[in-house]
Structure 1
């Protein structure tokens, strides 16, 4: 190989990878090849390499061609197989130099420099840019004829392959967690907007997960702009409750997380904020997978109970409530509730979501013959007191109470005469009219499977 392009005859421009020099991290790029001829000795396919300081001969290639290479303290001899000398190189310092212009030989000789790297790249292109691992397997196991014995190794990038076969980077899970305590790292993601507003007019779900215990907290929002204040309030509340500091939060790059309000607060209290790379939701995969788990559970619960779609927030909250108490973290073989609260949860209070129930009518001006209970359906559990959340059919509101009797064997509303629970005007929801919260009235309809699919068309980033 040479750095002097003018010495080459019949030069062919053919980039073919790079050459790494000994004791150096610098690479020389092969730009083409030609023939070197001084009238007596001809060397074919001499590589033109940018970055060389000297013209170099490959001793291993000479040996592969059955020539004999002999080194002494002062000279290096290249000889024919029968012992005749081809040329002699004189040593200067640590290198052996050949004066090619004055070189003479006892007989005409033609040397062919075999470049296995260039040939392997040529076969890569001949085989329609097939990957090197498969080509090497073909050659190693003798699965085809005509493929030379070369070292098929990808030592540089192929620009054509990069342009035509580019893939997303893989995201491998860590074998060992670097988190040693709760609240050390919180994952956050905002899902929405929902196609249907909840009974309280909410359209978004803010999901927050502790990386150590995998305990999940939810906040329901009317608008994305409410997220910063809710996150700040949550951080203050959870730090006081668990007596632990929040050190880092991880989220995507959307505006509900990347804004002056939230950033100024996090900076003031010394909390780090990490972001996922653009178009890489896998980096926030823990909370993204949790979103799908909650959605699947809520969709199943609504389909089984046949409750109206505007109770989707109650279904998601109930799914989160039960999963926090039942999902086992493999790393510790304990439930998430035990890891965050240091005690076992009591699940005796759990009832079937959407089951028929009766709630005592309290503090109401009832006559002697008025009904003492209202008919309703279980839609969740209170997070602030020991009580159930009940959707009352008569008032179309959700209330919390302990004075409830359950009929868990009657879960489907289709088997009852509670026609008030049906949405008779679906257009009112899809036209943007929000269902009214406590103390108001709204029309009802059936929640079919197709409507449930539409309900959970939210945005995952």
Structure 2
């Protein structure tokens, strides 16, 4: 409290005027002594003791060099003040450069350190750096002041000179000439030095290269931080208050590089600035590919969302390369509708957005690009959240409906239509109202996939026929005020119908196969005029047919088309046994023609592998049967590597090669023919000896105990494809 009063008196006006030096000097000494800095300020740099050892010689040389530098520092300070008095004010950078360049050649290392030290920005920083070096040399003298720690076993003597940084439980110096650290964690100041410019000799006599020089402060907070597994400062402070970590009273942790490596986390993204008018900022993203293509072949969808209104447009695409065409269509549409131009486009760094053509389009339109950082989709959060919302709506409405998964494209368009007409948390009203300045009409919304009856203007059965046909609602019309529905024809084909004359049954969700034009029950087609010539029709009875579905896709098949048999016995006991028998005879004839095996006795130590008949029904595009096919397959899974097969690798054709051939054919207007080689793999010659049991129901009479020794490969063998490849190479 007394020192504060003296400082207050000094500030009030009691200044040094030449007559009051004694009282002024005593007050200043009192204040400095209370702040424990008087001894540090009044302590002068003393010369080291004389001696004949190498250590004394090095200390004396360092002292003389430092003394000359401090003297030179005072000389330069005087010159800078004189230049300032004469009106030549030097900038801080000029003062630093002048001081460093004026140092003698013996101070080359110190000059380099100060030149590359980012903390030295003024003449005062240079002076402070030299004074720190002086303190380091003073502390390094033999028999100098050693600051010992108080331990539980004994009480060390207090130092002769107080240190401003002394705290209980801390050792500040060990009188070593150089202190070595394995990392930069505890450095207060640090600068790199030139590689190979300085080495030190360690205890075992080895020379170690010095990477950098700086000042370090020994803090037991850092030591306990490492002992406690790099826990946080708050938890360490709690342990210190409870006295569980020794005499450490205050925990102050510097920046720990190890914690940065082990505890690093992503920076918060904060809140983005919203656009203030339509088309000021557009968000875009591509979602896909989906594992099932839409009915028209697309497997992706691309979105464009206006930041101000949150009004979105969705386009279905087959490839990401179509993003440029979609954006060009979107720009033409919205700029013509709103009579404004797009100011900025925000996307991720997908290659479809970074193409040269996309950049040229944005430059031509004057659209500024905003790209997210790599692997940071959060910066494109508006488009990412819109994609997620659309997919969640699609999953929900398709779970309610009974249409195949290939109708997800229609569900996406329906979801986008609805989202533009419902409110959002970030817009004061609906996106549709902000985009068109009109209130949306929600009375026309209907459940997706619900049953609908469309007015039939073409009445097949005349006035007595039905006036509506049953369909399924799939989306809203894009260019008309109506609905898009699907109806199924009697032949199984599906047609899309756009109409406004639709009646809905909102609690019924039919599947494909039970909708379409139906004939009135209990009625027959109207008789045509008997005088008109009637076409001659077949008298044979029609083959009954039935309908079945595979993942929602309907097929019309004959009633006799049962499931494919799994065994030979099942095939021979079915109604089509003669056809299956003929297919197996054809396969065996192919084996004999190509001389695939010879019947031999099984050698001792050898083991024959089994075989199996694989029976398939080949169908045409309309679902009718093309032929019955039987394939004899060896049970290659019983083969052992190194015994009856070695390598199995075989190169395969790349799709790029197929596309290249198709491109050449299209460019040169050539004709392309596709060829199918029967029993292709029978042409591969085997190098190993492989034996197989004779096929079931095709055992040679009189040779029942013999086995088939392969000369050529058949389906199922491990080395099948490789032998076929080696046949041509």
TM-score normalised by L of structure 1: 0.66
Q: Could you say what secondary structure the match of 1:43 adopts? A: coil
> Superposition pairs for residues 48-447 of structure 1, below 5 Å?
60-61=164-165, 118-140=219-241, 142=242, 144=244, 146=246, 148-153=248-253, 155-156=254-255, 158-174=256-272, 177-330=273-426, 332-362=427-457, 364=458, 366-368=460-462, 370-394=465-489, 395-411=493-509, 413=511, 417=514, 424-426=549-551
- How many Å apart are 1:130 and its aligned residue? 1.3
Flag the structure with more relative contact order, 1 or 2, with Cα contacts below 8 A and sequence separation at least 6.
Answer: 1
Report how many residues are paired: 349
Unaligned runs of 5+ in 2: 1-39, 41-54, 60-116, 149-160, 169-215, 518-546, 555-620, 624-729
Residue 165 to residue 382, structure 1, CA distance change in 2 (3 Å): same
- How many Å apart are 1:423 and its aligned residue? 7.7
For 2:146, the equivalent position in structure 1 comes to 43
- Taking the aligned partners of 2:466 and 2:342, their CA distance within structure 1 comes to 51
- How many Å apart are 1:418 and its aligned residue? 5.2
Q: Could you say what secondary structure the match of 1:42 adopts? A: coil
- Taking the aligned partners of 2:290 and 2:501, their CA distance within structure 1 comes to 33
- Taking the aligned partners of 1:268 and 1:199, their CA distance within structure 2 comes to 35
For 1:53, the equivalent position in structure 2 comes to none
- Taking the aligned partners of 1:329 and 1:183, their CA distance within structure 2 comes to 19
Please say if residues 487 and 516 of structure 2, whose CA atoms lie closer than 8 Å, have aligned partners that are also in contact: no
- How many Å apart are 1:59 and its aligned residue? 5.9
Please say if residues 450 and 506 of structure 2, whose CA atoms lie closer than 8 Å, have aligned partners that are also in contact: yes
Greater helix proportion:
2
- How many Å apart are 1:137 and its aligned residue? 4.2
Tell which structure's C-alpha radius of gyration is larger: 2
- Taking the aligned partners of 1:301 and 1:307, their CA distance within structure 2 comes to 10
Please say if residues 186 and 248 of structure 1, whose CA atoms lie closer than 8 Å, have aligned partners that are also in contact: yes
- How many Å apart are 1:413 and its aligned residue? 4.3
RMSD: 4.0
Please say if residues 358 and 374 of structure 1, whose CA atoms lie closer than 8 Å, have aligned partners that are also in contact: yes
- How many Å apart are 1:353 and its aligned residue? 1.3
- Taking the aligned partners of 2:324 and 2:496, their CA distance within structure 1 comes to 27
Please say if residues 213 and 329 of structure 1, whose CA atoms lie closer than 8 Å, have aligned partners that are also in contact: no
Please say if residues 183 and 246 of structure 1, whose CA atoms lie closer than 8 Å, have aligned partners that are also in contact: yes
Greater strand proportion:
1
- How many Å apart are 1:127 and its aligned residue? 0.9
For 2:108, the equivalent position in structure 1 comes to none
- Taking the aligned partners of 2:217 and 2:373, their CA distance within structure 1 comes to 40
Unaligned runs of 5+ in 1: 8-17, 46-56, 66-114, 430-440, 444-461
Please say if residues 355 and 409 of structure 1, whose CA atoms lie closer than 8 Å, have aligned partners that are also in contact: yes
- Taking the aligned partners of 1:389 and 1:134, their CA distance within structure 2 comes to 65
